[in-house]
Structures are given as C-alpha cells and as structure tokens.
C-alpha cells in the first residue's frame, strides 16, 4: 500500500511537486478560498442587483442630471486586469512544475500590473468625484459603493500577492504552493467581478 503523503512536510521544489501531483482531492485551503469567493461573489451579485433595482425605479438614469460615464478608459483598464490572469496562471503552472524562480517573476509581473490597475482606477474615481459625489443621489451612492467595494477586493489581492512574493523568495513549501493557487483563484474571481462591475458602471452609456 502506497503510504499516504504527509503533505505539509513538503518543502523544496521536488517534494512539493510530488505531493501536489499525488493529491487527488483539492487542498483544504483551496476549498476554503472557493467558499470565500462564493460568498464574496454573492455580495457583488447583491450590489449589482441593487444597482439595477434602483435604476428601474426611475425613468431618468443617471439621476439628477449626472453625466453618463465615459466608456473607453474603464474598459481598457479592466482588460488590463483580466489580462493578468495569464501571468497568474503561468505562475501557478511553473510553481507546480518546480520552476519556483519563474513562478516568482510571473507573480511579480502580475502584481505590478494589478497595482497599476488599482492606481489608474482610483485616479478615474477621483476624477468622477469632481463632477458628482456619492451623497448627491442614489445613482451616485450605488456607483461609488460598487466600484469602491471592487477596489477594496483588489487591494486585498495585492496584499496577498505581497505576502506570497515575500514568502516564495525564501523557497517553496506545500503551504506556499497552495497559497499561490489560492491567490490565482482569487484573482480570476476579482477579474470576473471587475468585468461585471465595469459593465454595470458603464451601463448607462452602453
């Protein structure tokens, strides 16, 4: 009978890769992340539902003469974020294959672009704040709430990236590989919600 692996003892590219391949089920950490993502996705669904609920309560939208949002830059930035799924995916693949340094650099690349995305989005939001405020009316309120909640999720993702970059620089373990997979999973979720949020945000102009 093949001995069942003590997965958590695995440290270093070789052992980690063996444990990762041997494991048939998803790791506990992956499950935990999946469920957290499920609950956060539901949160976004509620916020987007709120947006459209408020929208269909009225004939004029945006309310109060607020200008319709401009479409180009938000879509480009969102595309940028979605594109980071590629280096994230490749990073996980590399790590699972034992190429830890490659995984680290790909993660760094993704992080840099994600951070740029957040910076640019905040800049756009500050711009918006010069024309209308969240306290103006329900449109302003739901508009800023929706994008701020999304930005908060991006910020948390960046914190997770920073953690992993620090840890992976010191080598790979079973725990850190699961962490990297969870981070990638999280970022796929953030990218998907970015698309949903930006389409909602730009809905009056689409």
Q: Interface residues with another protein (CB under 8 A)? A: 4-11, 19, 23-26, 28, 31-32, 35-36, 38-40, 42-43, 45-47, 50, 53-54, 57-58, 63-64, 134-142, 145, 159, 163, 173-176
Complex with another protein: residue 80 or 160, whichever CB lies closer: 160
CB of 143 to another protein, least distance (A): 10
Name the one residue in this structure whose structure tokens are 């994008």: 147
Per residue, the 3-state secondary structure of 59-88, as one string, reads CCCCHHHCCCCCCHHHHHHHHHHHHCHHHH
Cα 124–Cα 57–Cα 138 angle in degrees, nearest 5: 35
Name the minimum Å distance from CB 183 to another protein: 12
Instruction: State how far Cα 31 lies from the chain centre.
Output: 17
CB 163, min distance to another protein, A = 7
CB closer to another protein out of 29 and 79: 29
Largest CA distance in the chain: 73
> Phi, psi at residue 94, to the nearest 5°?
-60, -45
Q: Which of 139, 16, 116, 9 is nearest to 67 (CA)?
A: 139
What does the alpha-carbon distance between residue 167 and residue 179 come to, in Å, rounded to a whole number? Answer: 10
Which residue number, 58 or 205, has a Cβ lying nearer to another protein?
A: 58
Q: Which structure tokens are listed for 95? A: 């790590």
Q: Quick one: 86 or 169, whose CB is closer to another protein?
A: 169
Smallest distance, another protein to C-beta of residue 75, A: 26
In this complex, which beta carbon is closest to another protein, that of residue 6 or of residue 130?
6
CB of 177 to another protein, least distance (A): 11
């Amino acid at each position: 009978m093949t001995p069942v692996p003590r997965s958590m003892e695995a440290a270093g590219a070789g052992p980690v890769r063996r444990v990762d391949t041997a494991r048939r089920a998803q790791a506990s950490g992956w499950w935990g992340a999946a469920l957290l993502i499920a609950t956060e996705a539901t949160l976004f669904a509620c916020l987007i539902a709120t947006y459209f609920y408020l929208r269909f309560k009225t004939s004029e939208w945006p309310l109060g003469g607020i200008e319709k949002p401009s479409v180009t830059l938000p879509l480009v930035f969102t595309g940028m974020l979605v594109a980071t799924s590629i280096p994230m995916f490749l990073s996980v693949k590399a790590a699972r294959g034992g190429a830890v340094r490659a995984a680290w650099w790909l993660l760094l690349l993704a992080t840099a672009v994600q951070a740029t995305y957040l910076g640019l989005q905040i800049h756009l939001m500050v711009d918006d704040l010069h024309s209308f405020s969240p306290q103006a009316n329900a449109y302003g309120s739901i508009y800023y709430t929706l994008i701020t909640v999304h930005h908060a999720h991006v910020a948390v993702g960046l914190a997770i990236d920073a953690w992993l970059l620090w840890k992976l620089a010191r080598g790979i373990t079973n725990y850190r590989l699961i962490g990297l997979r969870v981070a990638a999973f999280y970022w796929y979720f953030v990218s998907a919600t970015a698309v949903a949020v930006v389409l909602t945000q730009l809905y009056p102009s689409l």
